Structure 1
Amino acid sequence: MRSWFRDTTGGLPTTFWYLWSGTLINRLGSFVLVFLAIYLTQERDFSASQAGLVIGLWGVGGAFGTTAGGTLADRWGRRPTLLTAHVGAAAMMLALGLARDLWAVALGALLLGAFAEAARPAFGAMMIDVVPAKDRLRAFSLNYWAINLGFACAAVLAGLAAQANYLLLFVVDAGTMLITALIIFSKVPETRQAGPATAAKTAPRGALRTILTDRVYLGFVALNLFAALVFLQHISMLPIAMGDDGLSPATYGSVIALNGILIVVGQLFVPRLIRGRSRSHVLALASVVMGVGFGLTAFAGTAWFYGLTVLIWTVGEMLNSPSNSTLIAELSPAELRGRYQGVFSLSWQIAGASAPILGGLVREHAGNDTLWYACAALGLLTAVAHLVSGPARERRAATLRRSGEALAPAAATRTPQPAEA
């Protein structure tokens, strides 16, 4: 056990553990989005369509935030972007909790989404900056573990806090954001490379053109979008399907909690299982497993069967996340890491906005079973696409690695020398 623990956690930079701690603390307070629909309809007496509008604006703000955050992380720096995003999100969280009129709540949700999501690209870029390539798989796995542990605890704590006072949800969430900002301010240095590697920060148009012409990376982002369209059905159409089978919201909560429990227990072991294996094969397997898990939902009608489907697609999620993270790291040029992270995060924002709409349309016009069969088919198609595009991604990653190795000694020879008297 000591050997396993040392192999899983040993040798990672101190800065990583400060970032990891900030992630865990931040996620421990991430109640509001989970309970926002209930809060708006029960506490504020908004209609379902008004609540949907507010949550949609959160997503719109998030799409803007990921794009802006990626640019700022490269041009301004990772550390100031993270600090601004967390402090701004804390302020908007309190404003949202105090807002009463629909327009004020909608504006607060829009701005909160922008600030909260602006931190993601900077955080991802900083993780890549500080963790050596050989350790990134387990580093991203550990961070993913912290996200799910914090979120699982938050769901329980949020229920207790909501019974006391809904405003307490917003206050505690804002407090965890400020604590994370304090950790970054006091313990985390700037990690963006200085010198020639950041020359692109003065040419944002050139940077945008680089990303838009990077067909290998955009293809990878598109495959993540397809996977996300399947995965996000668990928070949109799955509770509706369970309700149609006569299962209560409490039952849905218990079933979906299996997702977090399995990740917390199993994610610590996944890096060892997939280490040294082809990432394209792992991603293809993850897509197949997720597709099968969601496809089996068509046959579910009892709580235990729904729970089984959740456990199956959770295994796919656990395989997908660390492999995705390491590929993003290796496909991103050092001077454009923030922007590349922002483009990848944007795929999640697009999926978050479109998955419930597409799922609802398919379910309404073609039936519940067709929706889940379509998820299975999309998972299989995504798997095939990963196998086909995998070699090109690995060649691109190898080229960037060689470029980075060549730049390192060149930068060292350009170190300014003291002037002679």
Structure 2
Amino acid sequence: MFSRFWSQTAGGLPRVFWTLWSAILVNRIGAFGMLFLPLYLSAGRGLSLTAAGLVTAGYGIGGAGGSLIGGVLADSWGRRATMVTANGIAAALMLALAFAQPLWLIAGLTLFIGIFHSMPGPATVAAIIDIVPEESRSRAFNLQFWAFNLGMAIASALAGVIAEVGFFFLFALDAATTAITAYVLFRHVPETLMLRQGRPSRPWATRPWPARPIGSRPHPASGQVKRSTTPGGLGTALTDPIFMVFVGLTFIAAILNSQTSILQLAMNADGLSPAAYGIVAAVPGLLIVLGQLFVPRLIQGRLKGRVLALSLAVSGIGYFTLTFADVFGAYLMAAAIWTIGSMIAAPPNAEVIAELAPARLRARYQAVFFLTFPAAGFVAPAVGGWSLEHLGDVHWVLIGVLGLAAAAGHLLASRPRERRVARLLAAPAALPTSATV
């Protein structure tokens, strides 16, 4: 029975997808450093909650720039080159952070780590869209989200124990797994963009592949490949109103998900240990690992806007319950609630981006979408540290209200977006290959 379920869920996906999946898993298992950075700054370096939040916010500032840079590079330089380079540099920076002592150096390294941690995101998703057939993308995105959270669950459980030994090991092990990720991508993942010279890159040289590059089509008269030069770039994504409304609502969802950086400060104030926070942080990943593969069946055939609205409402309620949390069990219960919300949002989020993005600007649209997460990574700790310090539990009330407001926004925005997608599906496919920044 399980084998049949797994075959229906994961069967038929390309081998390169599973290599990307494995790289994501390895990278997330070692994602120790940034997970415990606020606690390191407050408990290990003696900074106030506000100051710790501001330094951590530098990671979000860097990530915002990194997402845009990564999207442009992935569409012009290549998916593989962007992923390998960014992970390699991130590993070196993380190792430097393990040895850093001056606060100004820690702040600077945090900023640059944010840049290079965020660069591979748009390239990874664009690569998955490149190689996975449209009818299988929902399964692929669901499995990608599953791998991400499986790795985070393992990392969270291990990180709490490692932090008890010493924060140095968190950063050093993070650097090691990031370097391994870069190596796996370099050795085993081809360039899926395949625009250079109209042929696949070396890793696929001995495997069957279309003779023409992705994004080109034969001229109807001559049968020769003809490339479109229709202009487009980041400005196209940033001035797309329906897409930007979706991005704005995703930013609010990211604000909710980024509350984990504040959660550890709240738990520390309640006298709970780093190991206790590690367990609570591992709960979302554990629940996602156990239940995420069943989500596509639960939401199949339902309007994406309604699913996303339900997701934000449930997440908001989960964070609202932290208003009353002061013991370990209460934090565990709240984490379980908001995790259910994030689980049902993952497949429709990815599908909406794939539907709205023109083929030639696939990574750029992903870059703007990914911008929401580092931006939230800046806003959440920068404002949240102050809010928790001065407003106390009212902070969690405000977060709950924010989630419910965004849920209403998805209901209002759903119908125009669905009409747009229907028009795109009805129109002849345009497959240009060149774009401007």
What TM-score, normalized to structure 2?
Answer: 0.83
Q: Please state how far the C-alpha of 1:231 moved relative to its aligned partner.
A: 2.9
Q: Please state how far the C-alpha of 1:125 moved relative to its aligned partner.
A: 1.1
CA distance 1:356–1:162, change in 2 (3 Å): closer
Question: In 1, Cα distance between the equivalents of 2:320 and 2:52?
Answer: 29
Q: 1:224 aligns with which of 223, 230, 250?
A: 250
Matched, 1:328 2:347: no
Q: Please state how far the C-alpha of 1:367 moved relative to its aligned partner.
A: 5.1
CA distance 1:196–1:310, change in 2 (3 Å): closer
Q: Is the 8 A contact 1:201 1:335 kept in 2?
A: no
Question: In 1, Cα distance between the equivalents of 2:343 and 2:80?
Answer: 29
Partner of 2:75: 74
Question: In 2, Cα distance between the equivalents of 1:108 and 1:241?
Answer: 25
Partner of 1:355: 380
Q: Percent identity?
A: 46
Structure 1 residue ranges without an equivalent (≥5): 412-421
String of CA shifts for 1:199-242, please: whole Å, max 9, x gaps.
Answer: 79995xx4133112200000000001112223322331x34444
Structure 2 residue ranges without an equivalent (≥5): 196-212, 217-226
Q: Please state how far the C-alpha of 1:17 moved relative to its aligned partner.
A: 0.3
Question: In 2, Cα distance between the equivalents of 1:200 and 1:245?
Answer: 60
Question: In 2, Cα distance between the equivalents of 1:95 and 1:201?
Answer: 43
Question: In 1, Cα distance between the equivalents of 2:164 and 2:272?
Answer: 23
* Within-5 A mapping of 1:22-421: 22-40=23-41, 45=45, 47-48=47-48, 51-162=52-163, 166-192=167-193, 194=195, 197=215, 206-236=232-262, 238-242=263-267, 247-360=272-385, 362-363=387-388, 368=393, 370-403=394-427, 406-407=429-430
CA distance 1:362–1:111, change in 2 (3 Å): closer
String of CA shifts for 1:58-112, please: whole Å, max 9, x gaps.
Answer: 2221111111111111111111111111111112122222333333333322222
SS at match of 1:406: coil
String of CA shifts for 1:318-345, please: whole Å, max 9, x gaps.
Answer: 0112211111111111111111111111
Runs of 4+ more than 6 Å apart: 198-202
How many residues were matched structurally?
404
SS at match of 1:220: helix
Question: In 2, Cα distance between the equivalents of 1:138 and 1:196?
Answer: 22
What TM-score, normalized to structure 1?
Answer: 0.86
Question: In 2, Cα distance between the equivalents of 1:22 and 1:377?
Answer: 37
Partner of 1:416: none
- Give the partner amino acid of 2:252: F
Partner of 1:21: 22
Stretch of structure 1 that moved more, 354-363 or 288-297: 354-363
Question: In 1, Cα distance between the equivalents of 2:251 and 2:5?
Answer: 34
Question: Which one has a larger percent helix, Structure 1 or Structure 2?
Answer: 1
String of CA shifts for 1:254-296, please: whole Å, max 9, x gaps.
Answer: 3333222211111121122112221111111111111222223
Q: Is the 8 A contact 1:226 1:382 kept in 2?
A: yes
C-alpha RMSD over aligned residues: 2.8
Q: Is the 8 A contact 1:286 1:316 kept in 2?
A: yes
Q: Is the 8 A contact 1:158 1:169 kept in 2?
A: yes
